Every structure is written in structure tokens, then in C-alpha cells.
Structure 1
Amino acid sequence: MVFWEGYVSDEAMGTFAPIVVYWLYAGFYQLLPPLDNYRLHTRKEEEEKNLVSLPSVVKGVLLQQLIQATVAHTLFLLTTKASSSGITVQPSLPVQLVQIVVAMLVMDTWQYFVHRYMHQNKFLYRHVHSQHHRLVVPYAIGALYNHPLEGLLLDTLGGAISFLVSGMTARTAVMFFCFAVIKTVDDHCGLWLPGNVFHLVFQNNTAYHDIHHQLHGTKYNYAQPFFSIWDKLLGTHVPYSLVKRIEGGFEARLMKD
């Protein structure tokens, strides 16, 4: 039993809940005070280094979410109709947890290799992936700012494959995709806040991904959004050190092993 049961279908929630969660969570970060003592980059660096305006970022994210919602809704409808009984039986909680872990690993695998290839292929980087790297200094609202083709291949298709391979229901997918969105936004928030559970649980976190957005780190730390497994296995992992700046905040520095 979930709070939306009887009001909104699981398929509709799986389609639109991640979008709502994205703007609520990213908006929370956007509305925070400057918090200069916890920033990975100064506000001056954000203004000078970023090559795209906030309104353009918002438009780009909304376009990607429109594509995502269309694909997600179609996928949910097709998988629901494919059910022989027409009635979806929700598996036990342990089974759902296993499905979510499987989906996390599948999504990480897909995104690592597609993301890495977009860096290695000069044409794709120049014409597609470089749009995301216009945010040299990432911030929360820009987490899903991508070229539409990248958004389709990396995030939307990756999410669809994760959903299908894991075998989760639309109801479980609501939880998984909302969690994935929150993690992705957090990785791009640009803040190293004390007590942030993602920084404690995941090695692939805000500072880890910040390294990748810097010019000296674009060949490292491709992993997203959950684990750093593939980076470590394939030699693209590079650790970071957090150095406190004199003027306040932290700097994530690349450390060669």
C-alpha cells in the first residue's frame, strides 16, 4: 500500500514523480544561502568558468525530461499490457531490494561505457557531450543538462534497460528512479555539506564527479550515478583530496595513485 494508490496509477507516478523530485531537490539546493564555507568552487569561479546561462540550463533540462517522460510512459504501458493477468503482483520487500541493486549495477554499467565513449569519440564529444561540460562548475539544477541525444542514449535508454533487466514493477520503479534522480542531483550540487549521507555511503559522490568536470580530470571518474566499480576495474579511477581554501569552502584536487 502506497500513498498514491487509488489516486494515481503506478505508471503515471513512475513517469512524473522523478521529474517532480528533480525540481524539488534541485530547487532546495538552489534556494539555499550561498554557504561559501561548503562550496567546492567559489561563486566567482561559477560565474567565470561556466559557458551557459541558467535559463538555457533550465530549458535543456525540461526538454530532456519531456523525452524521458514520453519514453517512460510508453515503456510502462507496454510492460503492463504484456502482463497475462493484467494484475501486477508486487514482490516481497527483499526481492524489490535485490531488483533495485540489480538496476543500479545495470545503470552504472550502461552509463559508464556510453559516457566514456562520448569522451573518446571526438565527434560525439564535440557535438554532443561537450554540452554537459559547459558547466565546468556543476550545480544542482544542471544535473540533467545534456544534449538531447545524450539524454536519450545515456539517461533515458539506460533507465529503460535497468527497468527491464531488473524485472521490477512500475511501483518499484517509482522508488528506484526517484532515488537515482536525487543521487544525480546531489553529485552535481557543488556543495560538500557535513552529514550528507551520500558522501558517507558512496565513493562516487559530489567531489568525485566534480573532478571529472574539471579540465584536468575529464579522462577520469566516468562512473555515474552510484558506484565507482568500472572506473577502478578499467583504470579510469582517480582519488581526490579535499583541501580547505583560505577564502572559505573546499577544493577537490585530483590525486594520482
Structure 2
Amino acid sequence: MVFWEGYVSDEMMGTFAPIVIYWLYAGVYQLLPPLDRFRLHTRKEEEQKNLVPMATVIKGVLLQQLIQATIARILFLVTGSSSATEKFVQPSISVQLIQIFVAMVAMDTWQYFVHRYMHQNRFLYRHVHSQHHRLVVPYAIGALYNHPLEGLLLDTFGGAISFLISGMTAQTAVFFFCFAVIKTVDDHCGLWLPGNIFHIFFRNNTAYHDIHHQLQGAKYNYSQPFFSVWDRLLGTHMSYSLVAREEGGFEVRPSKD
């Protein structure tokens, strides 16, 4: 039994909970004090290098989430996961964990190849994917700042494919998509905070993705949001070291394997 049972359907939670979680989690990062001693880039760099104002970023994220919510509602209707019978056959915890792992692998695979192709295809990069790279210095609220077409192909379709391949129910999907959103926001937060559980358990993390947003790493570290397996297998992996800056914070120094 989950806390929302009897109040809202699993399908509604699966549609809107990830959106709420996005703004809550990104909002926490936004409301934190400057924390200059943990930043991967200085505030001056963020102001000078980023090519789009935050107001535009927020509008872009809201548009993507509107598209995602629409597709999610259609997906749940088509799969018929709201049937009364299915409500009482929720898989065991172990089965759900396996389904979530399968969904993670499926999402990583889809996003790696689509993301890499958007860099290799000059038209797609110039007219679509470059919008995300206007944030040269990433921050949490901008995690889903993409061109609408990229948001549809990379994130929305990637989520739908992960849901279908894993065979998870709408209830399990609530936990998976909320986790995926939190991880994505964290990867773009621009902070290397001590004790961050994502930095401990995932090599694909804030510093790993920060490299990709920099000029010298644009052709590397395509993997997102969970593992770095495809980068390692296909020669697009770039490792890094964290070096303390004299003025505070860290510098991510890439080093080709």
C-alpha cells in the first residue's frame, strides 16, 4: 500500500509526481546559500558563460513537462494499467527492483545513442541540442532545459520505452520516474557536496556530466542519467579529477582514458 492510495490514482501520480519532485528538488538547490566552496564553477563563470536567462530556462522546462505529462497520460491509457484487477497484483519488492534496474538500463541505452547522434548530426545539434548547451555552466533548475523536440525524443520517449520494456506497473513507475528526475537534477546542480549519495554510488554524476558541458568534453560522456557503461564500451568516456581552486570550490579537470 502506498500513501496516495485512495486519494489519487497511480496513473495520475506517475504523470504529475515527477514534475512536482523536479521543482521541489531543484528548488532546494536554488534556495541554498552560495556555497562557493563546493561549486564546480564560480558564480562569475555562470554569469559570463551561460547564454540564456533563468526566466527563459524556466519557461522551456515547463513546456517540456507539459509535453511529458500529455504523453504520460496517453501511455497509461493505452497500456490499460488502471484496471481494477491490476491494482491487486502489484509485484513483489524484488520483482519491482528488477524492473527498475531494467528500466534504468533501457533509459541509459536510449538516451546514450540519441544524445550522441544529436552531437554528431550537425543539423540536429545546431537547431535542437545546442539549446541545452546554452547552459555552459549547468544548474539544477536547468536540468530539463531542452528544445521541445529533444525533450520529446530523448526524455519523453526514453521514459516511455523504459516503462514498456521493464513491464512495470504505474505504481512502480511513480518511484522510478521520481528517482530518474532527482538523479537528472543532481547531475546538473553544479555542486560537489560532501556525502552526496549520488556521487558515492554513481560514476555518472555531477562532475562527470559537467565535463560534457565544457568545450573539451563535448564529444565525451554522453551517458545519462545512471551509468557510464556505453561511454566506456564505445570509447567516449572521459575521466576526471577534482582540484581545489584557490578562490574556493573545485575545478573538474578532464583526462582522456
TM over 0.5: yes
Q: Is the 8 A contact 2:107 2:158 kept in 1?
A: yes
Distance 2:237 2:231 in 1: 4
Count of residue pairs the alignment pairs up: 257
Structure 1 residue runs without a partner (length 5+): none
Q: Residue 90 of structure 2 corresponds to which residue in structure 1?
A: 90
How do residues 79-118 of structure 1 correspond to structure 2 at under 5 angstroms?
79-80=79-80, 85=85, 87=87, 89-118=89-118
Q: Is the 8 A contact 1:88 1:169 kept in 2?
A: no
By how many angstroms is 1:78 displaced?
1.4
Whichever residue aligns with residue 172 of structure 2, its letter is T
Q: Is the 8 A contact 1:80 1:86 kept in 2?
A: no
* Structure 1 moving runs of 4+ over 3 Å: 81-88
1:213 aligns with 2:237: no
Structure 2 residue runs without a partner (length 5+): none
Q: Residue 242 of structure 2 corresponds to which residue in structure 1?
A: 242
How do residues 1-257 of structure 1 correspond to structure 2 at under 5 angstroms?
1-80=1-80, 85=85, 87=87, 89-257=89-257
Q: Is the 8 A contact 2:242 2:250 kept in 1?
A: yes
Q: Is the 8 A contact 1:188 1:206 kept in 2?
A: yes
Distance 1:159 1:217 in 2: 26
Distance 2:98 2:81 in 1: 24
Change (3 A) 1:44 1:82: closer
TM-score computed with the length of structure 2 as normaliser: 0.98
By how many angstroms is 1:77 displaced?
1.5
Distance 2:224 2:50 in 1: 21
Change (3 A) 1:64 1:88: farther
By how many angstroms is 1:256 displaced?
1.8
Q: How many percent identity over aligned positions? A: 81
RMSD: 1.2
TM-score computed with the length of structure 1 as normaliser: 0.98
Q: Is the 8 A contact 2:75 2:160 kept in 1?
A: yes
